[in-house]
Chains A and B, each alone.
Chain A
Amino acid sequence: MIRIEPRENASRAFAFGIPVLSAVISLAFAAIPLLAAGANPITAYGEMIKGVFGSVFAVSEMLTRATPLIFTGLAAALAFRAKLWNIGAEGQLYLGAMAAVAIGSGLFDISGILLLPLIIVLGAAAGAAGMMAPTYLKVRFGADEVVTTLLLNFIILIFLQMMLEGPLQDPMGLGWPQSAPVLDQGMLPPLMDRMRLHSGLILALVLAAIAQFMLARSVWGFKLRAVGENAAAARHAGINVRRSLFGVAAISGALAGLAGVSEVAGLKGYLTADLSPGFGYTGIVVAMLAGLSPVGVVIAALFIASVFVGADSMSRAMGVSSFLADLVVSMSLLCVLVGGFLTKYRILRTKGATA
């Protein structure tokens, strides 16, 4: 018989051990479909590692892939810290991207060095704006933000398609649903010659560092943690819970919006409806793997980007489907959730009950 009892105090080792263990276990489990596909797992993982760390180009690709995940991971991690379940980072990403191309493609006459800062600020603002309605509905009517933010994603996607075939459409684009390109002054400068890696990564890392510092050291972070851990006590102590929620909602939305800005103005240069292969949703996995810590988000984003980039490379080398990456990512999330349970409860095996 198995019994479950609450632990009175989980050791600190759990906080670090569980994400790492989850990553390892998910990779180990992925060996099963690899074997089923007739591939040698050892060779396959070798190819993956080569595909991520085998060359400067490989590493730069991995970092390029990690950049939007750091943004969306931070967006999820900060909101989740306040128990604000923002599942809408995907939509907010597109809002940020739309703002970026609207301003950056020369639709309005803004020139020179002001263009890039403006793109960043307004992209972030657009993402933040996307969180206002769900937060208002939650605070005012108690509407579940999981539902509202999630459903808003689909509304924003349809809005995006409308914009891409309407006001934002590239007049030179032969009728394709894609936006006009962002002007050169509006692009995030690349970090390395002939590589796709761009300075969006630097922005992401700086924001992660700021988030980490503010969470631990600022009154804002104190209030955020208090609201997330025990809103009733926070309110009783005189903390304005609504203001905290709106504040973190805006920041979360802004970070997701910046993921869109970074992809459009750093990588692609123009906007299509397939800009993001689910970065908003993967950001949730990143945040959970990171234990909702901003620094952890950077590490988790690097891991997940490695899995995706490595799986692509392995798939090319060995002819195994790159869907394996999704499998590893999903499984790592499940492992983290199980691990989270194990930090709260212990499982005891008891012998058949006899007196």
Chain B
Amino acid sequence: MGWRQRQPNISMTQSTALRLTGLSKRFGSVVATDDVSLTLEKGEVLALLGENGAGKTTLMNMLFGHYLPDAGTVEVADESGTLQSLPLGHPQAALAAGVGMVHQHFALAENINTLDNITLGSEPLRSFRRNRNSAKAKIDGIIERSGLNAPLNVPVGRLSVGERQRVEILKALYRDARILVLDEPTAVLTPQEADTLFDNIKTMTEDGLSVIFISHKLREVLAFSDRIAVLRHGKKVGEMATADADEKVIARMMVGADTPKVARTEMAPGTPLLKLSDVSVKGRAKRDTLKGVDLTVNAHEILGIAGISGNGQSELANVISGLAQPSAGTITVDDQDVSKPSPGAMVKAGIGRIPEDRHHEGIVGAMSVAENMVIERLDDPAIQSRGLLKRDAIQANAEKLAKAYDVRGPGVTAASRLLSGGNIQKLILARVFERSPRLILANQPTRGLDMGAAAEVGRRLLEARERGAGVVLISEDLDEILGLADRIVVIRDGNLVEAVSHDREQIGLMMAGEPA
């Protein structure tokens, strides 16, 4: 796999493609970006780095016209290379000036084919028939030049995530984008797919495209960008040529301090805690079905489940957390049969669950932090007696946990949705870990978290493992799994295959479904 240092495009004649000057944006009392200036040269790949909430997405949304900045200007080079100021707050103007954006969550219509998805929105409203042939010719040309392959006559719903992303990029290029913004483009890709994407980007930049990509994966930033800009707390705190940067320098710049290293000691696995035998789950879509899997999780063990999202992770997590009923197979926790699981039964069986979508499944946003901390133990006599809540006990519990787990926010009586993503995750960690669960299901536990919070999650999982708990760690971040897991199982198309070693290349191939 080619994690090679990228040579900067020195052959390109340097001319500025984009200049952001003094962009500031506040949301109420929160300063999202503060006087940020950036330039992007033609044919350059600029990596925009920063932790969650550093202002990366806000900055790009101002460039694209989704947000109106409180102060600052955006200038985009026109065809001839002269900078023209862009009217702010108008996505249409940004599109017309050649700015294309590919969001982390794709905006594609699944029921119509690729070609129509690409042309959707850029054809005249008043014409009765569309000129599909010329559109197709143009797209074919773009595909040929960029190498972005995607079948044009297939409904987007049938495409893989990698293909969908290529369709999104094609959509931008079809609208003659000269500047392309990619928001966390590799979050959903296998390492190999990510490589292909960056190869394509390289081809496109040689063709004159300028690219900004938002990321927090240091590895790919170092390998594929020409220049790096780092945001922290809404301010630009650093900018450098990638050739002069290393992982440590950037990490310190992002966090403002050295990140703690998670120390992991080798440990012999204990007795089996959770056993899945021949478990099948019917998912909504065919590709999400879990197909007769066997899985054992032992005490003193972190089992990593690696795979591209949508290969059955949700079904596996749902079965273990009690949300989904297996259509076949048996599940035992501590040798007790729980083949008809329910969330309540799994909590009682001593399983702590960290859900994938913490906003949607983890907390009831309108309810207070204190209430969310006891939501899984409403039967507990410490919390209620004869159906009435013990409000003092709930309050005391919340204050204790908020302190122990460093949950910061406007207070434990405030609505939990007012917490930042990292603090919501700490709330969930507090709820899960304070009950000393025998088994922990952690589904994408660090997704979207900043480095400090992510390290905290890793530390807590390792702590639980030392105490004798078993952990099922489902993650799309292979680095995270490689760093934490004792054993790694790859999930692919509803099947589980155990990896023989912590070999990144081999696991990547297994994730892609190629024989290792």
**A353 touches which of B89, B343, B346, B355 (Cβ 8 Å):** B89
109-150 of chain B: CB within 8 A of chain A? none
A-to-B contact residues, CB < 8 Å: 3, 7-9, 217-220, 222-223, 225-226, 229-230, 232-240, 348, 350, 353-355
- The answer to whether A222 touches B366, judged by C-beta atoms less than 8 angstroms apart, is no
Q: Are A239 and B375 also in contact (CB < 8 A) when A8-B28, A229-B364, A233-B361 are?
A: yes
- The answer to whether A230 touches B365, judged by C-beta atoms less than 8 angstroms apart, is yes
Residues of B within 8 A of A240 (CB): 344
Complex-state Cα separation, A329 to B89, whole angstroms:
39
Complex-state Cα separation, A2 to B225, whole angstroms:
39
Residues of B within 8 A of A236 (CB): 321, 323, 343, 353, 355, 361-362
28 A-B pairs with CB atoms under 8 Å apart are A7-B28, A8-B28, A8-B418, A217-B388, A218-B388, A219-B388, A219-B389, A220-B387, A222-B378, A223-B378, A229-B364, A232-B360, A233-B361, A233-B362, A233-B363, A233-B364, A235-B323, A236-B321, A236-B355, A236-B362, A238-B342, A238-B344, A238-B376, A353-B87, A353-B93, A355-B73, A355-B74, A355-B87
Complex-state Cα separation, A219 to B378, whole angstroms:
7
- The answer to whether A8 touches B27, judged by C-beta atoms less than 8 angstroms apart, is yes
- The answer to whether B353 touches A225, judged by C-beta atoms less than 8 angstroms apart, is no
Q: Would you call B391 an interface residue if the criterion is a C-beta within 8 Å of the partner chain's C-beta atoms?
A: yes
Q: Would you call B217 an interface residue if the criterion is a C-beta within 8 Å of the partner chain's C-beta atoms?
A: no
- Please give 15 more A-B residue pairs, beta carbons under 8 A apart, in addition to A218-B389, A239-B375: A8-B30, A8-B418, A218-B388, A219-B388, A225-B367, A226-B371, A230-B366, A233-B361, A233-B364, A233-B375, A236-B361, A238-B347, A350-B68, A350-B89, A353-B90
Residues of A within 8 A of B343 (CB): 235-238
Residues of A within 8 A of B74 (CB): 355
- The answer to whether A230 touches B90, judged by C-beta atoms less than 8 angstroms apart, is no
Complex-state Cα separation, A183 to B307, whole angstroms:
73
CB distance from A235 to the nearest CB of B (A): 6
- The answer to whether B384 touches A219, judged by C-beta atoms less than 8 angstroms apart, is yes
Q: Are A222 and B360 also in contact (CB < 8 A) when A8-B28, A9-B28, A350-B68 are?
A: no
- The answer to whether B387 touches A237, judged by C-beta atoms less than 8 angstroms apart, is no
Complex-state Cα separation, A236 to B354, whole angstroms:
10
Closest residue of chain A to B410 (Cβ to Cβ) is A9
Central interface residue in B353, B366, B378, by most chain A CB within 10 Å: B378
Q: Would you call B154 an interface residue if the criterion is a C-beta within 8 Å of the partner chain's C-beta atoms?
A: no
Residues of B within 8 A of A354 (CB): 87
- The answer to whether A229 touches B28, judged by C-beta atoms less than 8 angstroms apart, is no
330-371 of chain B: CB within 8 A of chain A? 342-344, 346-347, 353, 355, 360-367, 371
CB distance from B432 to the nearest CB of A (A): 11
Closest residue of chain A to B75 (Cβ to Cβ) is A355
Closest residue of chain B to A348 (Cβ to Cβ) is B68
Closest residue of chain A to B431 (Cβ to Cβ) is A237
Residues of A within 8 A of B418 (CB): 8-9
Complex-state Cα separation, A183 to B342, whole angstroms:
51
- The answer to whether A239 touches B378, judged by C-beta atoms less than 8 angstroms apart, is yes
Residues of A within 8 A of B18 (CB): none
Central interface residue in A234, A238, A239, A350, by most chain B CB within 10 Å: A238
Complex-state Cα separation, A8 to B90, whole angstroms:
23
- The answer to whether A229 touches B367, judged by C-beta atoms less than 8 angstroms apart, is yes
Closest 4 CB pairs of A and B: A238-B344, A355-B85, A229-B366, A238-B343
Residues of B within 8 A of A218 (CB): 387-389
Complex-state Cα separation, A163 to B247, whole angstroms:
81
CB distance from A234 to the nearest CB of B (A): 7
Residues of B within 8 A of A219 (CB): 378, 384, 387-389
- The answer to whether A234 touches B384, judged by C-beta atoms less than 8 angstroms apart, is no
Residues of A within 8 A of B378 (CB): 219, 222-223, 239
CB distance from B415 to the nearest CB of A (A): 8
Residues of B within 8 A of A235 (CB): 323, 343
Closest residue of chain A to B418 (Cβ to Cβ) is A9
Residues of A within 8 A of B346 (CB): 238
- The answer to whether B89 touches A226, judged by C-beta atoms less than 8 angstroms apart, is no
Q: Would you call B88 an interface residue if the criterion is a C-beta within 8 Å of the partner chain's C-beta atoms?
A: yes
- The answer to whether A353 touches B88, judged by C-beta atoms less than 8 angstroms apart, is yes
- Flag B26-62 by CB within 8 Å of A: 1 or 0 each: 0110100000000000000000000000000000000
CB distance from B367 to the nearest CB of A (A): 6
- The answer to whether B342 touches A222, judged by C-beta atoms less than 8 angstroms apart, is no
Residues of A within 8 A of B90 (CB): 353
Residues of B within 8 A of A3 (CB): 68, 89
- The answer to whether A226 touches B364, judged by C-beta atoms less than 8 angstroms apart, is yes
Closest residue of chain B to A223 (Cβ to Cβ) is B378
- The answer to whether A226 touches B375, judged by C-beta atoms less than 8 angstroms apart, is yes
Q: Are A230 and B360 also in contact (CB < 8 A) when A235-B323, A236-B353, A240-B344 are?
A: yes
Central interface residue in B90, B322, B367, by most chain A CB within 10 Å: B367
Q: Would you call B86 an interface residue if the criterion is a C-beta within 8 Å of the partner chain's C-beta atoms?
A: yes
Complex-state Cα separation, A217 to B394, whole angstroms:
11
Complex-state Cα separation, A225 to B366, whole angstroms:
9
